[in-house]
Amino acid sequence: MRILVISDIHANHSALEAVLEAAGRFDAVWCLGDLVGYGPDPNQVINTVRSLPNLICLLGNHDAAVINRIDLTAFNYDARLSLKWMIDTITPDNLNYLTTLPETAIIEDVLLAHGSPRNPIWEYILDIYTAQNIFNQFTEKIFLVGHSHIPLAFFHNPIDKNIFVRPLIAGDNVLIYHRHIFNPGSVGQPRDFDPRAAYAIYYPESGRWESYRVEYDYKNVQERILKAGLPEHHAIRLSQGV
């Protein structure tokens, strides 16, 4: 089985299209949240994601904000402007779809969340100290997380109990022997200084995780962000990967 793992599309349909084309054949899709926010294409992204085969899609913090589960004051000024535009732009049917998304999911020995097991929508996992606490919060072999927009792997050594972190780059192939936390990175707004859209392929039978990047026309997305009257900062950062 070949599972496409994506996260943090952030209303960037051009990046999503590039990922779906580059990924080739896949049997299922696991989306770790934040379909909306920042970008100019919330309805196109939601419509496309909803059509994907054997989909499991989770609620992200931006998704939660547009359906009034998180107060907009929790976000910075530019993000609030973007979210207000999303609320006015997303169709009623797509808003209703967002209300159906779960905060977590468990598929056999894999736990999925946007943030963390203890705070599924909001907590960031970026360092080994946080990861140490997170490993104590779940019992599954693998935890898949988004939110930070940075491709990372944390793994737990059962012998000495140490936690190790590994930044993931395109072409990385990880064989899963011990407990792991994986972040596939962001499709629509990477923040690891690489502007290419990030995604991963997970092979449950062989226990393998593969990280990928794909180029897309971010200049066109930048133009559409500005045309929609969205914050210029959200356009600029697409070319910088920050």
pLDDT band at 178 (very low <50, low <70, confident <90, very high): confident
d(CA 138, CA 186): 23
d(CA 201, CA 72): 33
As a whole number, the mean pLDDT across the chain is: 96
Distance CA 4, CA 186 (A): 13
> With pLDDT > 70 as the criterion, what percentage of the chain qualifies?
100
CATH number of residue 191's parent domain: 3.60.21.10
- Amino acid at residue number 142: I
Q: What is the mean pLDDT of residues 103-131?
A: 96
Q: Are 176 and 166 in contact (CB under 8 A)?
A: no
Q: How confident is the model at residue 159 (pLDDT cuts 50, 70, 90)?
A: confident
Which residues fall within 8 angstroms of residue 3, CB to CB, at 6 or more apart? 26, 27, 28, 29, 30, 201, 202, 203, 204
pLDDT score recorded for residue 86: 98
Nearest to 42 by CA among 9, 70, 15: 9
Average pLDDT for residues 160-185, to the nearest whole number?
92
Relative to beta strand 173-175, strand 197-203 is unpaired
| pLDDT of 160 above 90 | no
Token pair of 183, please? 């972040």
Q: Which domain holds residue 224?
A: 3-240
Least confident of 72-86, 101-115, 160-174: 160-174
Looking at the structure of the chain, the number of domains it has is 1
| Confidence class for position 158, pLDDT limits 50, 70, 90 | confident
Summarize the confidence of residues 146-161 as an average pLDDT: 90
